[in-house]
Amino acid sequence: MIVKRILLLLLPLVFFLPSCHKATKKQQLSNAESKAVIAKIKQKGKIIASTDFNSINYFLYRGEPMGYQYELLQAFANYLGVKLEIVVNNDLQKSFECLDNGVCDMIAMDLTKTMSRSKIVDFSVPIIHARQMLVQRKYSHKSKIEPIRNPINLAHKIIYVQKGSAFAERLKNLQQEIGDTIQIVEDPVSSVEELVLLVAKGKIDYTICDEHLAGVYERNYPELDIKTPVSFQQNLGWAVKKGSNELLKALNNWMTNYKGSKEYMLTYSRYFDNPRSVEFAQSEFNTLEKGIISRYDRLIQKYSAHIGWDWRLLASLIYQESGFQPRAISRGGAVGLMQLVPNTAKKYSVSGKSSPDFQINAGVKYLKLLDKEFMSSVHDQNERTKFVLASYNVGINHVQDAQRLAKKYKKDPNLWTNNVDWFMIQKSNPQFCKDSVVLYGTCHGKETYNFVNEVFERYYHYKNVTDK
């Protein structure tokens, strides 16, 4: 697959930088529209950000979303008091289109601030300053090729870069500076990290990455040499739609303060100074290359079909319950991957020693039974799934109590979101627990409310980074 990609790319060697933003409208928002942007974010209760999927910025590790840009985005969303939704785009052109078309509110990745880009987007204050570094292999007795140390020696070399990246623009300028031709190949498919990996594997000879990533990549791939700069320091930041002044002001206020915080220092260190970055990149649990959520993906895919769920939703539930640990036993005696409580486990003959196949099959049978209970009244499948998840967590009797409360107080008893979910929370409130329609007393309803939200939130991350 990699060889085919390279052969296709070699057909047209690109010696110039076509503007990756030509299709983007040069639109300046009015003051009213600028204020409406952040008002809309607050109203919908979420900010939508486009970022790239790799082993540093945004990835899954052992079933949980992680990443430098992800953690920064989550902190900014918390600052705004809204939820975070991520749109994955490893294609820079698609990221700019996403922003221009209003599909996302911002681009959150290591965007180099250039004059051409500044005409179509507004940049935040810099998150980081970095030089562009040449990625090549170290000297080996087999190749006997010395690493390039002077950019003038890049003449006539073939350098692969991500399509639409600032790296291509820099190499074009470098051609003028050295007075000779550099063969620039803009890869329309690969991300920066994928190109770095191709160099490490010897499939291509050169690519470019930003300096702050160099240390991480050298730890992950010790055969690489990333010591030769090809640019001066440049400003890297996030981008918002041109004229989104209110959002940009909020972003800059937050970022200026956040960059000086201990929280930011810890976040930066976690991804750029942490020896465990090698583990993140090379683990079987990293979805970057293999698209794996857990070692039980095939079983989850098999049994999710029995209930008509997206397998990634079932995977999210299993992670929430057990962290994919088949021998997990809770303090309350719930067992296995699906954490079936003792009575339910007994009903389906499940124990902590049962095989993962048997455990997942049993858990899905129970989910199917719960789904059947709501089938006749909750017709929307997405909403019904929330009732099923809540019942799986706290028991169907408590959920039905919340439905009865919703009906009594003129809310829709067959709609979870902004209806039954609120009364689920009130199941720990004595005022509501003593209501005549409540038959099963108090419970930790807020935990159930959070449980449903967390399963769905993780599910969205799983959808971002795996194929259906």
Helix (H) or strand (E) holding 237: strand 234-241
- How does DSSP classify residue 153? G
**Count of C-beta atoms within a 10 Å radius of residue 257:** 11
Q: Which among 238, 168, 233 is positioned nearest to 19, based on CA atoms?
A: 168
Whole-number Cα distances in Å, 331 to 304, 320, 339, 341, 454: 27, 16, 11, 10, 21
Concerning whether 223 is annotated as a catalytic residue, the answer is no
Owner of token pair 């002044």: 245
Q: Which two tokens stand for residue 383?
A: 């909403």
With vertex at residue 186, the alpha carbon angle to CA 181 and CA 189, rounded to the nearest 5 degrees, is: 160
**Count of C-beta atoms within a 10 Å radius of residue 354:** 21
- Cα separation, 332 vs 458, in Å, equals 25
Whole-number Cα distances in Å, 302 to 62, 65, 297, 315: 20, 24, 9, 12
- Surface-to-core class of residue 329, CB atoms within 10 Å of its CB (0-12 exposed, 13-18 middle, 19+ buried): middle
User: Which of 97, 169, 193, 321 is the catalytic position?
Assistant: 321
Strands 234-241 and 121-123: antiparallel
Whole-number Cα distances in Å, 215 to 54, 61, 224, 274: 15, 20, 10, 10
| Contact yes or no for 310/368 (Cβ under 8 A) | no
Percent helix, percent strand, percent coil in the chain, to nearest 5: 50, 15, 35
| Contact yes or no for 106/80 (Cβ under 8 A) | no
Q: Which two tokens stand for residue 265?
A: 């220092």
Q: Which among 46, 90, 367, 290 is positioned nearest to 375, based on CA atoms?
A: 367
Distance of CA 20 to the CA centre of its chain: 24
- How does DSSP classify residue 225? E
Strands 64-66 and 59-61: antiparallel
Residues assigned a catalytic role: 321
